[in-house]
Amino acid sequence: MTDHAELEAALRRGVRGDVDFSVTARALVTMDASNYRRVPRGVVAPRDADDVAAVLAVCREHGVPVVARGGGTSIAGQATGTGVVLDFTRHMNRLLSLDPDARTAVVQPGLVLDRLQEAAAPHGLRFGPDPSTHSRCTLGGMIGNNSCGSHSVAWGTTADSVRELDVLTARGERLRPGRDWGGAPQGLRELVEGELSRLRTGFPELPRRISGYALDALLPERGADVARSLCGSEGTLGVLTEAVVRLVEAPRARALAVLAYGDEGAAAEAAAGLLPYRPLTVEGMAADLVPPGAGLPRGGAWLFVETGGGTAGEARARAEEIVRAADVLDSLVVTDPAAQRALWRVREDASGTATRMPDGTEAWPGWEDCAVPPARLGAYLRDFRALLASHGLRGTPYGHFGDGCIHVRIDFDLLSEAGVGRFRRFSEDLADLVVAHGGSLSGEHGDGQARAELLPRMYGPELVALFERAKAVWDPDDLLNPGMLVRPAPLDSHLRFAPLPRGPVPVVFGYPADGGDFTAAVRRCVGVAKCRTTSAGGPGVMCPSFRVTGEEAHSTRGRARLLHEMLAGELVTDGWRSPEVRDALDLCLACKGCRSDCPVGVDMATYKAEFLHHHYAGRRRPAAHYSLGRLPRWLRWASGARLTPLVNALAAVRPLARVGKRLAGVTPERAVPRLAGETFSRWWRRTAGRGSGSSGGVGESGGAGPLVVLWPDTFTEHLTPSVGRAAVRVLEAAGLRVALPPTLRMRGRPVGDGRSRSPLALLTARRARVCCGLTYVSTGQLDHARVVLRRTLDLMEPVLETAAPVVVLEPSCAAALRGDLPELLPDDPRAARLATRVLTFAEALERYAPSWVPPRVDRPAVGQTHCHQHAVLGDAPDRRLRAAAGLDGELSGGCCGLAGNFGFERGHFEVSRACADEQLLPALRDAPPDAVVLADGYSCRTQVEQLSGARARHLAEVLAEALPDAP
């Protein structure tokens, strides 16, 4: 076997594209979205068909297999291999032409489906198939898997939309397959004409038969369609370099009928009966996969039935006709496009949501998409449920009920020998069950390694032998994706979990959702790659660095893959010291967007903090970790030593500022923020009265309203105390009593009477500072973070003995207290108690002053919702508060790009600015002159000011300014 260096050198000599044999490049493609893992020799991103031919020539000479890969979301293992992986997403990703009159498009294999849809939409056209991964799957991958999607009841599979293909065979022959034997390799026609009888009788008739090779497409009565026969061949017959695809007319208007049934069986029984009404979709899912507040009608399972029309009224009428014809518990017809998108997101996210059972148990693909005739779906599901129970397994079916195609993730134990054995036995039994119902082992995602071994049960040994002969015609050297479809590897080999550690990995965070197991947390990423989208998609955040760089290593999935390989120890061998993992995590903004936007809840910000903690243990850290990571300490020191004027004066001297930034690891493009002349706490003590108070209890101090404790976060305290002052004015105007830790003095009088031994009174004498530990966490200084948080809990203990909520103005600090605190100190019950007390400014007003009416501002609003608020806290109360104040307009989604210390660190400025250029800066440029610029996060306000010159304000500041007695 040729060694890596010799193969790499030969490829570099012959290929103009990117040749990468690095540990990182290989680690990123060891897996797709399946249960399988293979370590490749290297990765090549070809620039054109000539490059592909050169790769094939080199690999043929060296006896190295080739695997074509698109978005890497295949669920059966067919996008993994031990040879050279061809990555088409980097260069061969263009839409070459679009002919609206002919309704065709010419595409390269790496083109993402959504890009084709965007180009076709202005012409009233679209590509028919639309898998739930439409924002990242590629046309090449769709052709290789014969992908379908939710609209296949109307527009069929990818094979129905393919006209011609440009293909390179493993021996370098360039063919253009089409109909009437166009582009067929020598020997294929003779093979087919000698087996006509077997081909006419050997394939089940059903809309979602994807398994095996589509050799029946070569029958003369079907037009001898060579292009169609290649669809679903999983890159085992030829390498696609270009395709001519058919487009369909998109309906001008759509309506979505959501039909509710008692259970999935009832929904499945009803699905086939809706097909005569010619719907665009008939999708089914049960309550197990539906998040709370999804807005679905009452029921235990639902069908999503979409209809189209020339007008909104026509589409609605068709939907209502279906509702009348269906026997349902309840129903809902939705015509608003935004509301439809929200409901479809519930269905699309099921591919990730299904990876966790309701009790948190892991569930896996492997039998992801069997299909049966639609009329048999109800009976099949009953038998399927019984089979699951007989093996002691659980799963939640969902999917394309109108096509009889079911997706399901099952709680296989793929970590133990006994569990893997049960996986095999169940797979064999389920294959027999599917065949008994006249079905196909694969109804959408291909056979790959997961099902190919069982194809003889579906087709019989003679037809499978014919598949092998067809493979030999196309690829006599077995160079292309060997081990898939024919002569497959066993379905229980090459499992991705095999090399992972079986015992617990010592870590700092608690990982409560994963049983305290960091390995299980990393396993959360199953590869559906929602993080690989090129736009945030409305309010979404994940994954800003990938959208800027387009590099897999900078996606949430890519980073999770590297962590997986770090734990496996086979390819990434340095463990926590790995430079490959460190470099991939370097551009992670720790925005936490993946925590909410990832369907399986990957929290890369936490994984990054964990990694940095171990990576730099006992070693010198980057300068920014000492300067920005320990910012609260430096700011308290400067304030306590009365050095604020000196610091501001020195920062204003450019040469000194330049030297200071270089020493601190701060990027030179950033201006140093000015420190406030008076801290928020000092203003509080100066303006609060010092009377002896009343007769003692907290409830008797100050006014009659509820007490709230206002958290003096580092940013409000030292950099923008105006936010704190404004919040106090608004909270008091709403009738609330405000106190501050650690002295907890009420405005106008102290808490307690000086003689009381109540917890709040005792705390008035203490001067230590509370801190959420955010900057320590974000730089992975977790030992420091835990010390800070324990001290904070000591200080806050008296507060926790009262009913007072803790109002936190800075969203990132609120998120740290609500999320990071209990995960860093899982054994301290005070941590969970404080976390449950934390409220945002808007939450506090809504919960504790529900009858208060905010002042009317009546101006348009633009700005930025903080990433951590989006991911951890939610912004629904903020939206309602803004609406009540007459602040109209949506704040930007995505990420502002500053993200705490990230945008200040050396080497991050360009990525930081590019993130802001995605949504925030365009929104500011397009805003009307009288718009209020809102940003509750200090980082977001800083980014706005430094990149646009505008002044952004906290919502508290805007409301305080509008109060009737505002100065």
pLDDT, mean of each 10-residue run, the chain (967 residues): 84 97 97 96 98 98 97 94 97 98 98 97 96 94 95 96 98 96 96 96 93 97 97 98 97 95 93 95 88 84 95 96 94 92 78 66 84 95 95 91 92 94 97 97 93 96 97 97 95 95 94 94 93 75 93 96 97 97 97 92 97 97 97 92 90 94 96 95 80 29 77 96 97 96 52 38 52 97 97 95 96 97 96 98 97 96 96 96 96 92 96 95 95 97 96 98 85
Phi, psi angle pair for 806, to nearest 5° = -110, 115
Please report, as a single letter, which amino acid is at residue 920: L
CATH class of 253-445: alpha beta
Contact indicator for 406, 443 with CB cutoff of 8 Å: yes
Query: What are the residues whose beta carbons fall under 8 Å from the beta carbon of 192, sequence distance 6 or more?
Result: 199, 215, 218, 219, 224
d(CA 314, CA 321): 11
DSSP track, 742-810: TT-PBTTB-SS-SS---HHHHHTT--------HHHHHTT-HHHHHHHHHHHHHHHHHHHTS---EEESS
pLDDT at 749: 43
Cα distances (angstroms) measured from residue 845 to each of 495, 806, 848, 865, 877: 52, 12, 5, 18, 9
Specify the CATH class of 4-87 in words: alpha beta
Q: Which residues contact 585 (CB under 8 A, 6 or more apart)?
A: 559, 604, 607, 608, 611, 612
Beta bridge partners of 707: 737
DSSP state string for 301-352: EEEEEEEEESSHHHHHHHHHHHHHHS--SEEEEE--HHHHHHHHHHHHTHHH
For 715-725, how does the pLDDT look when each residue is reduced to its tens digit (9 = 90+)? Answer: 999 999 999 99
DSSP line for 931-964:
-EEEE-SHHHHHHHHHHH----B-HHHHHHHHST
Instruction: Pull the structure tokens for residue 340.
Output: 């439809």
- How far is residue 850's CA from residue 735's CA, in Å, rounded to a whole number? 10
**Single pTM value for the model:** 0.92
Residue 560: which residues within 8 A CB-CB, separation 6 or more? Answer: 522, 524, 525, 602, 604, 607
DSSP-based three-state secondary structure for 397: coil
Q: Is the distance from CB of 229 to CB of 214 less than 8 angstroms?
A: yes
What residue spans of 146-195 are helical by DSSP H? 152-155, 188-193
Instruction: Extract long-range pairs of 456-464: CB within 8 Å, 24+ residues apart.
Output: 457/428, 457/431, 457/432, 458/204, 458/211, 458/212, 458/431, 458/434, 459/202, 459/203, 459/211, 459/212, 460/202, 462/198, 462/202, 463/198, 463/202, 463/212, 464/212
What pLDDT score does 2 carry? Answer: 63
Q: Is 74 helix (H, G, I), strand (E, B) or coil?
A: coil
* pLDDT at residue 365, as a whole number: 84
The C-alpha atoms of residue 11 and residue 45 are separated, in whole angstroms, by 11
pLDDT of residue 9: 96
Distance CA 123, CA 101 (A): 9
Q: Which two tokens stand for residue 491?
A: 């379905």
Strands 84-87 and 887-888: unpaired
Nearest-CA neighbor of 900 among 774, 721, 716, 711? 774
Q: Which bin fits 732, alpha (ψ -120 to 50), beta or left (φ > 0)?
A: alpha
Buried (b) or exposed (e) across 671-691, using 16+ Cβ within 10 A?
ebbebbeebbbebbeeebeee
DSSP structural state of residue 903: G
- What is the crossing angle of helices 721-733 and 841-848, to 10°? 10
Cis peptide before 358 (omega within 30 of 0): no
Which tokens belong to 472? 């030999």
Cβ atoms 247, 126 nearer than 8 A? yes
Residue 696 token pair: 């003692």
CA dihedral 522→526→528→529, nearest 10 degrees, is: 20
Query: At the topology level of CATH, where does 97-130+147-249 sit?
Result: 3.30.465
Beta pairing, strands 66-69 & 84-87: parallel
Q: CA dist 519 to 30, 68, 365, 515, 617, Å? A: 17, 29, 18, 10, 20
Task: Please classify residue 810 by burial: count the beta carbons closer than 10 Å to its beta carbon, then call 0-12 exposed, 13-18 middle and 19+ buried.
Answer: buried
Quote the pLDDT of residue 396. 84
**pLDDT tens-place string over residues 300-311:** 999 999 999 999
CA–CA separation, 631 and 608 (whole Å): 19
Q: How many Cα neighbours within 13 Å face the side chain of 31?
A: 28
Half-sphere exposure of 221 (CA within 13 A, CB side): 5
CA-to-CA separations, 369 to 141, 284, 381, 406, 434, in angstroms, rounded: 17, 13, 13, 5, 11
Residues in the chain: 967
Element (DSSP H or E) covering residue 522: helix 518-523
- Whether omega before 543 lies within 30 degrees of 0, making that bond cis, reads yes
Give the Cβ contact number of residue 931 at 10 Å.
19
pLDDT score at 319: 96
- Please state, as a whole number, how many other Cβ atoms lie within 10 Å of the Cβ of residue 694: 16
